[in-house]
Amino acid sequence: MTETPAAAPDRATRIVVVGAGFAGFETARRLLRHQHRSTDQPIRVTLISPDDFMLYTPLLPDVAGGLLDARFVAIPLAESLPGAELIAGRVDSVDLDRHTLRIRNREDAEETVEWDRLVLTPGSVTRLFDIPGLAEHARGLKTATEALYLRDQMLEQLELASREPDPAVARARRTFVVVGASYAGTELTAQLRALADEVARHRGTDPDDVRFVLLDMADRVMPEVGEKLGDRVLEVLRGRGIDVRLGTTIDRLTAESAELSDGTTVETRTVAWAAGVTASPLIQELGLPTEKGRLTVGADLSVPGHPDVFAAGDAAAVPDLTKDDAITPPTAQHAVRQGKVVARNVLASIGVGTRKNYKHNDLGLVVDLGPRFAVANPVGVHLSGYPAKLVTRAYHLLALPRGANRMAVSAAYLGDAVYPRPLVSFGLVSADEASFPRSQGIPAPGAES
Ligand SMILES: Cc1cc2nc3c(=O)[nH]c(=O)nc-3n(C[C@H](O)[C@H](O)[C@H](O)COP(=O)(O)OP(=O)(O)OC[C@H]3O[C@@H](n4cnc5c(N)ncnc54)[C@H](O)[C@@H]3O)c2cc1C
């Protein structure tokens, strides 16, 4: 199959990018550099996203923990991508033969958009399992809505517990279960623990009255950082009174309890589910080959058999050329770099520059674990404690793609060193708004697609 011509000679090639996360944002940013140049290959960049911001997800645990304001981790698209056509909406379906896609906006109105080149970067959603009650009663941590919900839910439950006459109900309100001891769930637990400690300090109550249970099916926490750092993390979490249960998950969830696979039942009103991700539901809609649920692409990030279609980030199964027979892990580190390569290869497909295969040696991970502790393994160097904290915070500040956000986050970190965490619950996000279907667009259980 050969590429279709860029566009009729008298019009610009329309490049449509679906999703404004790490990969889509970077793709659009790179393409716009070309759009702004006057050239004999003019392009028009369209970015479709349900939100008018790019979300810096690695700092969501800090939002849930009340350390950062949600706006600090939201990069406004209109300001950051001048010259792009921004369309607010969610892509429902793609017609690969007609080169069109269908968008649904917040008011459920539909629109059809045409493209000459399509870049699919719709990312991932929380991976749910067929566990009774999970989709109804647990909440995730992939969106600002969910992070704000978890913060407010914890503060509200602690407030209600303080005036609850029934000790069993009060204990349930003060119990928080997090599932998934990979970096996202572990960071979330650490940040919620720090917020609960602040509540206890403020009220003069015992911080140990607030109970955290962190579960994972794996036999270790944060396998991504290796055995030594993982053991150190486990020691620190347990030292903070967190009940870490490995080889354990939830068997059944109700509004008031979690039945665990170790045979125990935890009475709780709050379960956060951070047990991995799966590609955006849009990928299944395409009817194209997938690998582990992610869209199959070549090393140049083009979709086999569809030379005008490209994909990158969590939604794409990108061959990892640094390893045998592997695909790149779903991380922001890869998504940003794939965004750069995809932009280059899209331009090459219309005759500008040359193609390149995606190849990146993983630089390691930085994981902020609340007050005075972090772990990091930059380029294979294992760090924990204050040095890791420094590296982690410096990394995020540099990686945030906007000066004003960097400044706001820096100020919040400085403030945190001097002042108590603000105990503010706006209560603006309802449990329904934070549910998986409404917050992440995951089809409700039993819903027809
Ligand atoms: C709490 C948390 C902490 C993390 N920490 C780290 C970390 O420290 N380091 C790291 O490397 N990675 C981290 N990650 C992983 C990282 O966030 C992802 O790998 C990264 O976001 C993937 O980028 P992406 O562009 O593929 O997708 P995303 O960033 O998820 O963006 C996808 C975009 O597509 C939009 N979209 C989805 N479906 C549609 C549709 N149908 N139509 C239109 N738009 C659509 C979404 O709204 C979103 O804007 C973390 C993730 C979480 C949740």
Is 57 within a domain?
Answer: no
Tell me which of 295, 322, 349 is where a domain ends: 349
Judge if the beta carbon of residue 122 lies within 6 A of ligand 1. yes
pLDDT digits (tens, 9 = 90+) for 43-60: 999 999 999 999 999 999
Are 143 and 45 contained in the same domain? Answer: no
Enumerate the H helices of 260-313 as residue ranges: 281-285
Quick one: which of 58, 44, 59 has its CA closest to 115?
44
Ligand 1 centre distance from Cα of residue 376 (Å): 21
Question: Is the beta carbon of 301 within 6 A of some atom in ligand 1?
Answer: no
What pLDDT, on the 0 to 100 scale, is given for residue 362?
87
Residue 449 has what pLDDT? 43
CATH code for the domain of 311: 3.50.50.60
Strands 43-49 and 53-55: unpaired
Domain for residue 107, yes or no?
A: yes
Average pLDDT over residues 251-255: 98
Which range (44-53, 243-252, 371-380) has the least confidence?
A: 371-380
Lowest-confidence pick of 86-95, 206-215, 298-307, 358-367: 358-367
203 with 138, same domain: the answer is yes
How remote is the CA of residue 350 from the centroid of ligand 1, in Å? Answer: 28
Domain co-membership, 97 together with 32: yes
Calculate how far, in angstroms, residue 163's C-alpha sits from the geometric centre of ligand 1.
Answer: 39
More confident residue, 39 or 437: 437
Distance (angstroms) between ligand 1 centre and the Cα of 57 equals 7
Ligand 1, atom 31, lies closest to the CA of 21
Determine which residue's CA is closest to atom 37 belonging to ligand 1: 122
Ligand 1 atom at minimum distance from 25 CA: 25
What was the pLDDT predicted at 82? 96
| 257 and 177 together in one domain | yes
Distance separating alpha carbons of residues 178 and 381, to the nearest angstrom: 29
My answer on whether 139 and 266 are in the same domain is yes
pLDDT per residue over 313-352, tens digit each?
999 999 999 999 899 999 999 999 999 999 999 999 999 9
Q: Which of 18, 22, 46 gets mutated to test ligand 1 (max ligand atoms within 8 A of its CB)?
A: 22
**Ligand 1 atom closest to 20 (CA):** 49
Is residue 307 one of the residues assigned to a domain? yes
**Residue located via tokens 């909406």:** 89
In this structure, the residue with its CA closest to atom 27 of ligand 1 is 123
Does residue 66 lie within any of the structural domains? no
Query: Do 93 and 183 belong to one domain?
Result: no
CB 347 within 8 A of CB 28: no
Please state, in angstroms and rounded to a whole number, the distance separating the CA atoms of residues 399 and 126: 23
At 446, the pLDDT band (50, 70, 90 cuts) reads: low
**CATH number, position 174:** 3.50.50.100
Considering the domain architecture, whether residues 240 and 322 belong to the same structural domain is answered as no
Q: Which of 301, 322, 349 is the last residue of a domain?
A: 349
Indicate whether 245 and 313 sit together in one domain.
no
Identify the burial level of 78 via C-beta atoms within 10 angstroms of its C-beta, where 0-12 means exposed, 13-18 middle and 19 or more buried: exposed
Last residue of a domain, one of 349, 378, 407: 349
pLDDT given at position 380: 86
133 CB within 6 A, ligand 1: no
Cα of 8 from ligand 1 centre, angstroms: 34
Q: Is there an atom of ligand 1 within 6 Å of 65 CB?
A: no
- Judge if 222 and 259 occupy the same domain: yes
- Return the residue whose CA atom lies nearest to atom 38 of ligand 1: 122
Residues 268 and 146 in one domain: yes
Residues 138 and 434: their CA atoms lie apart, in Å, by 10
Q: Which residue has the higher pLDDT, 106 or 134?
A: 134
Domain count within the chain: 2
Q: What does the mean pLDDT of the chain come to?
A: 95
Assess if residue 445 is contained within a domain. Answer: no
Partnered with residue 291 across adjacent β-strands are 294
Q: Whose CA is nearest to atom 30 of ligand 1?
A: 123
Q: How far is the CA of 264 from the centre of ligand 1 (A)?
A: 34
User: Do 259 and 169 have their domain in common?
Assistant: yes
Question: Residue 267 sits in which domain range?
Answer: 134-275+423-439
Q: Which residues contact 265 (CB under 8 A, 6 or more apart)?
A: 257, 258, 259
392 in a domain, yes or no?
A: no
Residue-wise pLDDT for 292-321, tens only, equals 999 999 999 999 999 999 999 999 999 999
User: Three-state DSSP class for 308?
Assistant: strand
Is 95 within the bounds of a domain? yes
In a domain, 35, yes or no: yes
Helix (H) or strand (E) holding 137: helix 134-137
Helices and strands in the chain: count of H runs, count of E runs: 13, 27
Closest-CA residue, ligand 1 atom 50, reads 58
Q: What is the pLDDT of residue 2?
A: 55
Backbone angles phi, psi at 361, to 5 degrees: -80, 125
Q: Are residues 248 and 209 part of one domain?
A: yes
Taking CA atoms, 159 is separated from 137, 212, 229, 426, 429, in Å, by: 20, 17, 35, 13, 17
| Ligand 1 lined by 280 (C-beta under 6 Å) | yes
